[in-house]
Amino acid sequence: MIENHFPQGLAIGDSFIGREEQMAWLMKNINSGYHTLLLAPRRYGKTSLAINTLAQINIPYTEVNCYLALSASAVEKKIIIAVQSLLEKLISKPEKILTAIQSFFKKGEKRWTLGFKGVFGLEIVPDSNDDHPENILTALQLIEDVLEKQKKTAVMFIDEIQEISSLKESKQLGAAIRQFAQHSKRLVFIFSGSNRRMLIQMFDDSSMPLYELCDRIILDRIDTQSYECYLNKVAKKTFNKSLSKGTLQAIMQFSERHPKRIYNLCFHLWRLCENQNKTPDEAAVKTAWDLFLDQRVRDVQYHLRRLSAGQIKVLTLIAMDITKELSGQIAQAKVKLAGPSIIKALQVLEAGDYIEKDSQGVYRVLDPLIRDILVRDESVNLA
């Protein structure tokens, strides 16, 4: 099925390609007990890397997504639920889970409420509703205690970790995680998020609790050879022949090897060509890309509403490949902004992962979907 070859969500199994080096590094970190921070722009496959690596080494793991965790209480609840999930994976019988938890709490003064919802739904409720950092630390210490007794290792994958930085208790929450993580031997953390600027601040600023806590893996775009090998493999399965050089070049050109967009494009391309009973060619690639743009134009327009009019104008210039002297007179005339305003817009766009700058100082739009929709709307955006 097309969905298996070009998944529109996580790339799992055979559809996960081109990250062998990063996967091997992450495996070594987990096996050595090193916590890891995954750094990449949005939709570059950070979660896919984590999930596929964990599937390879076959150890218990749990996920915590801090997206929409709008309070310290919400973060606490998500982590406690993750701990409950790990306990259920580590201990098969409910009565043995209760025994393990009771054994841990006998060592301290805390008296958390323990029970089950439904048939096997474990529920752990802290004895204090106010001290969220302490409750998080206790929950993590509980799972570490169980892991130590079983001589096992487990992983907690915390995604969108940057969301806690906006909470008033952010430093206390970070301190609780650090206090546990720098001493843990059995529970290993993988951290990730969709805002690189905020993540770097959290893990590189010496005033922040998570400063230098982790090794880091930086994900870039996957190389052309890996994609061509995979696409030809799929083409032989579905069309009984490899793709032409021109077709492969067209796929790389439109998608710019963006990990998410190349699968979006190929999903539409394969479906289009299967319906027409033809092998993909360069014209079909363009048609498929245009179909994808038409499908997603409203999503992109909605996403860009968070930007100011000036920022959208500067982003449109870069989409049009006007990438030199962006604060010069020609650019100022096109966007009707002063040089300092353009520089400020560039900073905002780069911090938000809308654009990136290469070693020569040349900017490009990170997402080819946004790039091409902006180009189509050029006359509107720059009016």
**pLDDT at residue 4 greater than cutoff 90:** no
88 and 111 belong to one structural domain: yes
CA distance 317 to 352: 17
* pLDDT, mean of residues 169-183: 96
180 and 32 belong to one structural domain: yes
Q: Which amino acid is at 13?
A: G
**pLDDT at residue 277 greater than cutoff 80:** yes
CA distance 41 to 198: 12
Per the domain annotation, does 135 fall within a domain? yes
Confidence of residue 118 (pLDDT cuts 50, 70, 90): low
Per the domain annotation, does 28 fall within a domain? yes
Of 281, 302, 323, the domain-final residue: 302
Per the structure, the count of domains in the chain is 3
Task: Give tens-digit pLDDT for 46-86.
Answer: 999 999 999 999 899 999 999 889 999 999 999 999 999 99
* pLDDT, mean of residues 179-196: 95
Confidence of residue 360 (pLDDT cuts 50, 70, 90): confident
Per the domain annotation, does 241 fall within a domain? yes
pLDDT for 3: 67
Range 164-170 contact pairs with CB under 8 angstroms and sequence separation of 24 or more? 164/66, 164/69, 164/75, 165/198, 165/201, 165/202, 167/69, 167/70, 167/71, 167/72, 167/75, 168/72, 169/72, 169/132, 169/133
313 HSE (CA, 13 A, CB side):
20
pLDDT averaged over the chain?
92
Per the domain annotation, does 74 fall within a domain? yes
99 and 49 belong to one structural domain: yes
Whether the pTM exceeds 0.85: the reply is: yes
* Farthest CA pair distance, the chain: 74
Residue with tokens 């969301």: 163
114 and 29 belong to one structural domain: yes
204 and 166 belong to one structural domain: yes
CA distance 346 to 337: 12
| Degrees to nearest 5, angle at CA 258 with 377 and 278 | 85
Of 153, 188, 218, the domain-final residue: 218
Residues 6+ apart with CB under 8 A from 287: 272
115 and 198 belong to one structural domain: yes
Confidence of residue 1 (pLDDT cuts 50, 70, 90): low
Residue 186 maps to which CATH number?
3.40.50.300
Number of neighbouring beta carbons within 10 Å of residue 377: 18
Per the domain annotation, does 3 fall within a domain? no
Per the domain annotation, does 183 fall within a domain? yes
* pLDDT, mean of residues 273-284: 95
CA 201 to the chain's CA centroid: 17
Query: Tokens in use for 54?
Result: 């964990």
Burial (0-12, 13-18, 19+ Cβ within 10 Å), 119: exposed
Q: Is 315:340 a contact under the CB 8 Å cutoff?
A: no
Burial (0-12, 13-18, 19+ Cβ within 10 Å), 306: exposed
Q: Is 56:23 a contact under the CB 8 Å cutoff?
A: yes
pLDDT for 256: 96
Task: Give tens-digit pLDDT for 189-218.
Answer: 999 998 888 999 999 999 999 999 999 999
Query: Tokens in use for 214?
Result: 């982790």
214 and 359 belong to one structural domain: no
Q: Is 171:328 a contact under the CB 8 Å cutoff?
A: no
Q: Is 203:210 a contact under the CB 8 Å cutoff?
A: yes
pLDDT for 224: 97
330 and 362 belong to one structural domain: yes
Query: Tokens in use for 152?
Result: 């096992």
251 and 328 belong to one structural domain: no
Per the domain annotation, does 7 fall within a domain? no
Query: Tokens in use for 172?
Result: 């206390």
Task: Give tens-digit pLDDT for 287-346.
Answer: 999 999 999 999 999 999 999 999 999 999 999 998 878 888 888 988 999 999 999 999
276 and 291 belong to one structural domain: yes
Query: Where would I find the beta strands (DSSP E) of the chain?
Result: 36-39, 61-65, 113-117, 121-125, 154-159, 187-191, 215-218, 355-357, 363-365
- Residue 292 three-state SS: helix
Domain assignment of residue 377, given as a range? 308-381
Residues 6+ apart with CB under 8 A from 52: 11, 12, 13, 16, 19, 23
Of 204, 218, 144, nearest to 179 (Cα)? 144
Task: Give tens-digit pLDDT for 91-107.
Answer: 888 788 888 888 898 88
Confidence of residue 366 (pLDDT cuts 50, 70, 90): very high
Q: Is 334:317 a contact under the CB 8 Å cutoff?
A: yes
**pLDDT at residue 122 greater than cutoff 80:** no
Confidence of residue 23 (pLDDT cuts 50, 70, 90): very high
Residue 348 maps to which CATH number?
1.10.10.10
Of 218, 251, 266, the domain-final residue: 218
Query: Tokens in use for 295?
Result: 């499908």
* pLDDT, mean of residues 108-137: 80
Per the domain annotation, does 347 fall within a domain? yes
81 and 104 belong to one structural domain: yes
- The DSSP code sequence of 102-130 is HHHHTTSS---EEEEETTTEEEEE-S-SS
157 and 48 belong to one structural domain: yes
